[in-house]
């Protein structure tokens, strides 16, 4: 497509979406891009929650997660969280043979669990993506994810009313970790739990930190383990992704 053809194509899209160029914006357009009183009130509500309110959201999340065959528990600290993950790794069997391996995000919260030595003591290697500039890790790490039986991630937020993990794409946080292994383990903090999608969208649009980062290429929504009832209307877990999902919430 030539530059002229591309410009015409984009112009058609703008007109269809009723978008304007920055030079055509009016004061009314700019005002509409500012949060209204309802948005500001909701932001204040989210940021002003005390521990009691957050635990109430957790209880709602845990109940919804139970209905979705999702295990949601609180952990008092990183040590107890790591111990719970190690127990799962020891007790669960690998679907693809006797050899066990784990893949994980290169995320501060996941790294702070310090799982490498504990898992390797039981002959279970854990692999993290190589995020050094110029590293060619994608193909190799995808293979490791496909052969691993546990994938460990964090999340940006978790929606209590639907037990939905929301995960934006970032360097070192490949989607294959939450998709390819048969067991997905996610670790978040209590303050990352939101009530509903309205709170999520309000934060993404108006929270200063979210505005500074901007939207990434993709946001994944995960509500419980993979499931389908395509075959004879019989519910089966793990058909198109993990068959088990554990969420540990640090208080």
Pick the CATH number of 51-250 from 3.30.70.2190, 3.40.50.10420, 3.40.50.300, 3.40.50.1110: 3.40.50.10420
Those residues with Cβ within 8 angstroms of residue 105's Cβ, 6 or more apart along the chain or in another chain: 128, 129, 152, 153, 154, 172, 173, 174, 177
DSSP 8-state class, residue 182:
S
Residue 51: CB atoms within 10 A of its CB come to 10
- Domain locations along the chain: 51-250
Residues of the chain with pLDDT > 90, as a percent, come to 67
Q: Is the per-residue pLDDT at 103 higher than 70?
A: yes
Asked if 138 and 144 count as a contact pair (C-beta separation under 8 A), the reply is no
Q: What's the distance, CA 251 to chain centroid?
A: 18
In which order are the strands placed within the sheet that holds 157-159? 193-194, 157-159, 164-168, 219-223
Least confident of 49-53, 111-115, 216-220, 246-250: 216-220
Question: Is residue 151 very low, low, confident or very high in pLDDT (cuts 50, 70, 90)?
Answer: very high
pLDDT at 130: 83
Residue 194: CB atoms within 10 A of its CB come to 24
Residue 229: CB atoms within 10 A of its CB come to 10
Q: Is the per-residue pLDDT at 80 higher than 70?
A: yes
Mean pLDDT over all residues of the chain? 87
Least confident of 8-12, 22-26, 209-213: 22-26
CA distance 193 to 190: 6
Which among 85, 38, 39, 74 has a CA at the least distance from the CA of 181?
85
Residue 247: CB atoms within 10 A of its CB come to 24
pLDDT at 238: 47
pLDDT at 25: 53
Pick the more confident residue, 232 or 146: 146
| DSSP line for 199-212 | HHHHHHHH-HHHHH
pLDDT at 109: 97
Q: Phi/psi at 142 (nearest 5 deg)?
A: -65, -40
Average pLDDT score over residue span 41-48: 96
Question: Is residue 132 very low, low, confident or very high in pLDDT (cuts 50, 70, 90)?
Answer: confident
Asked if 100 and 85 count as a contact pair (C-beta separation under 8 A), the reply is no
CA distance 34 to 206: 8
Instruction: Note the pLDDT tens digit of each residue in 160-181.
Output: 999 999 999 898 999 999 999 9
pLDDT at 8: 76
- For the chain, list the strands marked E by DSSP: 71-75, 102-104, 126-127, 150-153, 157-159, 164-168, 183-189, 193-194, 219-223, 227-228, 236-237, 244-250
Q: Is the per-residue pLDDT at 117 higher than 50?
A: yes
Distances (CA, A) of 16 to 10, 75, 91: 10, 50, 56
Least confident of 109-118, 165-174, 206-215, 223-232: 223-232
pLDDT at 131: 76
**37-47 and 197-206 helices cross at what angle (nearest 10)?**
100
Residue 243: CB atoms within 10 A of its CB come to 17
């Amino acid at each position: 497509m030539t530059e002229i053809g591309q410009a015409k194509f984009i112009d058609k899209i703008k007109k269809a979406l009723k978008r304007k160029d920055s030079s055509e914006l009016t004061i009314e357009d700019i005002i509409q891009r500012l949060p209204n009183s309802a948005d500001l009130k909701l932001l204040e509500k989210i940021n002003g929650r005390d521990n009691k309110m957050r635990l109430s959201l957790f209880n709602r999340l845990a109940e919804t997660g139970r209905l979705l065959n999702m295990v949601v528990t609180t952990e008092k600290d990183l040590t107890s969280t790591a111990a719970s993950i190690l127990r799962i790794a020891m007790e669960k069997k690998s679907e693809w043979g006797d050899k066990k391996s784990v893949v994980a995000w290169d995320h501060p919260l996941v790294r702070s669990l310090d799982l490498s030595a504990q898992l390797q003591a039981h002959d279970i290697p854990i692999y993290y993506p190589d995020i050094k500039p110029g590293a060619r890790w994608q193909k190799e790490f995808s293979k490791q994810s496909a052969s691993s039986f546990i994938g460990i991630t964090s999340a940006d937020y978790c929606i209590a009313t639907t037990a939905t993990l929301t995960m934006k794409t970032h360097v070192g946080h490949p989607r294959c970790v939450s998709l390819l292994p048969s067991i997905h383990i996610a670790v978040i903090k209590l303050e990352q739990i939101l009530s509903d999608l309205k709170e999520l969208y309000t934060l993404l649009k108006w929270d200063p930190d979210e505005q500074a980062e901007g939207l990434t290429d993709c946001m994944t929504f995960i509500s419980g383990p993979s499931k389908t009832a395509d075959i004879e209307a019989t519910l089966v877990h793990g058909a198109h992704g993990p068959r088990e999902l554990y969420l540990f919430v640090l208080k």
